[in-house]
Chain A
Amino acid sequence: NAGVTQTPKFQVLKTGQSMTLQCAQDMNHEYMSWYRQDPGMGLRLIHYSVGAGITDQGEVPNGYNVSRSTTEDFPLRLLSAAPSQTSVYFCASSYSMPGTEAFFGQGTRLTVV
Chain B
Amino acid sequence: DAKTTQPPSMDCAEGRAANLPCNHSTISGNEYVYWYRQIHSQGPQYIIHGLKNNETNEMASLIITEDRKSSTLILPHATLRDTAVYYCIVRVEFSGNTPLVFGKGTRLSVIA
Question: Which single member of B2, B99, B105 contacts A33 (CB below 8 Å)?
Answer: B99
Collect the chain B residues with CB atoms within 8 Å of residue A44's CB.
Answer: 102
- Does B43 make an interface contact (CB < 8 A)? yes
Q: Does B44 lie within 8 Å of A43, measured CB to CB?
A: yes
Q: Kindly count the residue-residue contacts between A and B in the assembled complex, taking CB atoms under 8 Å apart.
A: 59
The proximity string for B residues 72-112 relative to A, scoring 1 for CB distances below 8 Å and 0 otherwise, is 00000000000000010000010011011111110000000
Q: Main SS of the interface on chain B?
A: loop
Number of interface residues of B (CB under 8 A): 23
Q: Which of B36, B43, B46, B96 has the most CB of A within 10 A?
A: B43
Contact residues of B with A, CB < 8 Å? 2, 32, 34, 36, 41-46, 49, 51, 87, 93, 96-97, 99-105
In chain B, what residue has the closest Cβ to A56?
B99
Q: Does A98 lie within 8 Å of B32, measured CB to CB?
A: yes
Q: Does A31 lie within 8 Å of B97, measured CB to CB?
A: yes
